[in-house]
Amino acid sequence: MIQHAIDGLLHDTPLEPVSESAVRDHVVSRIAAVRDLATAMGEADDEVELYRTVAAFWLELRFEWQRNNEIMNYQTVMCDHADPRVIVEGAIGSFMLSRLELCLDAVHLDMLTRYAIELLADVRIAPRATESAQ
What lies within 8 Å, CB to CB, of 72 at 6+ separation is 82, 83, 86, 87, 90
For the chain, state the CA radius of gyration.
Answer: 18
Residue 129 lies in a domain: no
Please tell me the total count of domains within the chain. 1
Residue 80 lies in a domain: yes
Considering the chain, what is the average pLDDT of its residues?
A: 86
Under the banding of pLDDT at 50, 70 and 90, the label for residue 102 is: very high
Distance between CA atoms of 7 and 124, rounded to whole angstroms?
36
Residue 134 lies in a domain: no
Q: Give me the phi and psi of 78, to 5 degrees please.
A: -80, -30
The pTM of the full predicted model, rounded to 2 decimals, is 0.79
The conformation of residue 45, written as its DSSP 8-state character, comes to: G
Q: Give residue 39's identity as a one-letter amino acid code.
A: T
Mean pLDDT over residues 104-108, rounded?
Answer: 96
More reliable by pLDDT, 38 or 71: 71
**pLDDT above 80 (res 2):** no
Residue 131 lies in a domain: no
Q: Which domain holds residue 25?
A: 2-124
Under the banding of pLDDT at 50, 70 and 90, the label for residue 113 is: very high
Closest alpha carbon to 55 in 113, 2, 94, 95: 113
Q: Give residue 32's identity as a one-letter amino acid code.
A: A
Residue 130 lies in a domain: no
**pLDDT above 70 (res 127):** no
What lies within 8 Å, CB to CB, of 86 at 6+ separation is 68, 71, 72, 75
Mean pLDDT over residues 69-83, rounded?
Answer: 95
